A and B are shown apart, each in its own frame.
Chain A
Amino acid sequence: MKDTIVCRCEEVTLQELEETARKYNSSARELKLLTRAGMGFCGGRTCRQAVDKVLTDITGEDPTNELPLKVAPPVRPLSLTDLGGLAKDE
Chain B
Amino acid sequence: MQQLDVVIIGAGPAGLAAAIQCRENDLDVVVLDEFPKVGGRLLGQLHQEPSGEWWNGIEESKALQTKAESLNTDIRLGYSVYHIEKLEKQFVVHTKQQKFVTNNVLIATGAAESPAPIPGWTLPGVMSIGAAQVMTNVHRVKVGEKGIVVGVNVLSAAIARELQLAGVDLHSMALPTRNVVSEDQANPRLVMERLSRIAHLAPSKFIQFGSRFAKWKWVQDLVVQYYPKNGIKMWGMPIYLNKAIKQINGTDKVESVTMVDVTMHGDIIGNSEEEIPVDFVCIAGGLYPLAELAGVVGCPFIYSEELGGHVPVHNEKMETPVAGIYVAGNITGIESSKVAREQGKVAGLAIVIKEKNTSEITGKLQTAISEVKATRDAASIQFHPHIPEGRAKVSAAYDDLVKAQEVEKELEYV
Contact = CB atoms under 8 A, between A and B. Distances in A.
Interface of A: 1-6, 8, 14, 45-47, 49-50, 53-54, 57-58, 63-67, 70-76, 78, 82, 87-90
B70 interface: no
B70 to A, nearest CB: 24
B180 A82 contact: no
B295 A70 contact: yes
19 contacts: A4-B121, A6-B117, A45-B112, A53-B183, A58-B180, A63-B303, A63-B310, A64-B303, A65-B301, A65-B310, A65-B397, A67-B295, A70-B295, A75-B292, A82-B96, A89-B99, A89-B101, A90-B1, A90-B2
B120 A2 contact: yes
Contacts of A88: 98
B98 A47 contact: no
B303 A5 contact: no
Contacts of B96: 78, 82, 87
A87 B292 contact: no
A61 to B, nearest CB: 12
A54 B133 CA distance: 28
B82 A50 contact: no
B180 A89 contact: no
B191 interface: no
Contacts of B121: 4-5
B296 interface: yes
B299 to A, nearest CB: 10
B309 A4 contact: no
Interface string B61-82: 0000000000000000000111
Contacts of B114: 49-50
Contacts of B310: 63, 65, 67
A6 B1 contact: no
A4 B303 contact: no
Contact of B82 (A14, A47, A75): A75
Contacts of A3: 119
Nearest to B296: A73
A90 B98 contact: yes
Nearest to B304: A65
A76 B302 CA distance: 23
Contact of A67 (B99, B183, B301): B301
Category for how many chain B residues contact A: 35 or more
Contact of B118 (A4, A66, A82): A4
Nearest to B286: A49
A90 B310 CA distance: 33
A49 B1 CA distance: 39
A39 B321 CA distance: 29
**Residue of A3, A5, A45, A54 with most partner-chain B CB within 10 A:** A5
Closest 4 CB pairs of A and B: A73-B83, A71-B295, A74-B82, A2-B119
A89 B101 CA distance: 9
A82 B98 CA distance: 10
A73 B34 CA distance: 16
A65 B118 CA distance: 28
A58 B288 CA distance: 21
B227 interface: no
Contacts of A45: 112, 292
B200 to A, nearest CB: 29
B263 interface: no
A35 B242 CA distance: 35
B151 interface: no
A90 to B, nearest CB: 5
A50 B117 contact: yes
A87 B83 contact: no
B115 A47 contact: yes
A2 B80 contact: no
A76 B181 contact: no
Contact of A75 (B181, B288, B293, B301): B293
B98 A46 contact: no
